[in-house]
Amino acid sequence: MIWTIVIFLSLVSLLAVYSSTGSLAYRTQGGRTEYYLIKQLTVLALGILIIYFAHRVNYTIYSRVAQIGFIISIPLLIYTLAFGSNINDASRWIRLPVINLTFQTSDIAKLAIFMYVSRQLSKRQHVIQDFRKGFLPIIIPVGIICVLIMPANMSTALLLGASCMLLCFIGRVPVKFLLSMMALGIGLVVLLFLVAKLTGEKMRTETWEKRIESFMADDHAEAPYQVQQANIAIAGGGLFGKGPGNSEQRNFLPHPYSDFIYAIIIEEYGMFGAFLILAAYMILLLRSIRIYKNCPYAFGAFLALGLSVTLVIQALTNMAVNVHLFPVTGVTLPLVSMGGSSVLFTSLAIGIILSISRSVDEMEVKKAEQERIAKVVGENANAQVA
């Protein structure tokens, strides 16, 4: 089922990216509209290969590399803040010098912190009710990663923190501990705004403030330009849409191939297509919950659920932004939006989920075989006694 969802979202991505990058291709590639289609096809093909090889690896190995990944993430995030490439007024990317490829270090950090939290939750279940011995060793690394991501990418930091808190809640961490950390997190965000205002530092606080104010405004005319164009696209889509490649707002909507690709999908495929995309992510979550329930080992259960929850939360956030239920953010639609490193790290996360699923299936088959052998032995023994 998860493989089916991956293939479905990949096909949707190819159609939507090819349709929404026409204007971009004329501006940057001299009208070669197939350039971004081939690029996205290459990235998705590489992503599927990553999923396949990652799912063939025993998931317990990811527990061993969790701490190494966390330690590596910290200097990478610091380097990104200090020397990262500035794209769209945000320093989120590192440019590799030889191959001239950029990637977001927050993608590495997200994957590493989920493996780390899952490992710590599984190891500390016997002291999870203790704040100092059980909770602090888990939440401090989460706080470090979120604080390092926050200056350049507030939305990703908040989503990552919320996903980790939810995983901790599932891991039997007391609610009072989580509420105290939520209050501390809100305090840090407020402090960041105040420091930026008082010191006059050129941070993204002005952008965040404008986005929140425009979202809260009663007058639709005060909404950001991209939100207005997204609403026009959604209104024009109707029930079944205008058909593949017939979007009109792709020529007016900023970043229709990444942040606002869901609006283009609705315009071309209507509410029916929008529902299919939403259903795909919900099925992914339900299948991961099933893996969580069937996995006999805590690390695998927490990791499968944690990775799926963060992917689904990211997807729901992107959809909410597109339909103006959430302030504008830079969150993309996993496996659908055009991208490089984001698609590859999403593929790695899905590969890890499938690795856990494969292990659970193998254990269930082995258990069923043992029960069958025991039943046959018992019947033979009864026959001999008779």
With contact defined as beta carbons under 8 Å apart, do 201 and 195 qualify?
Answer: yes
Separation of first and last alpha carbons in the chain? 48
Collapsing DSSP to helix, strand or coil, 85 comes out as strand
Q: Which of 77, 95, 76 is nearest to 85 (CA)?
A: 95
User: Would you say how long the chain is, in residues?
Assistant: 386
| pLDDT value at residue 51 | 95
For residue 28, what are the contacts with CB-CB under 8 A and spacing of at least 6? none
Distance CA 157, CA 229 (A): 27
With contact defined as beta carbons under 8 Å apart, do 27 and 254 qualify?
Answer: no
Q: Which of 140, 118, 135 is nearest to 173 (CA)?
A: 135
* CB neighbourhood size of 330 (10 A): 19
What DSSP designation does 173 have?
-
With contact defined as beta carbons under 8 Å apart, do 25 and 17 qualify?
Answer: no
Structure tokens belonging to residue 261:
């690709």
Q: Which residues of the chain have pLDDT under 70?
A: 84-93, 95-102, 196-209, 213-222, 386
Distance CA 169, CA 162 (A): 10
| pLDDT value at residue 91 | 54
Distance CA 47, CA 297 (A): 27
What pLDDT digit, counting tens, does each position of 26-55 carry?
Answer: 888 777 888 889 999 999 999 999 999 999
Distance CA 186, CA 154 (A): 12
Distance CA 262, CA 249 (A): 12
| pLDDT value at residue 67 | 84
With contact defined as beta carbons under 8 Å apart, do 48 and 118 qualify?
Answer: no
**Where does residue 326 rank: exposed (0-12), middle (13-18), buried (19+ CB within 10 A)?**
middle
> What residue has token string 């330690």?
71
Distance CA 124, CA 109 (A): 22
What pLDDT digit, counting tens, does each position of 82-95 carry?
Answer: 776 655 555 566 76
Beta strands 90-96 and 101-104 are antiparallel
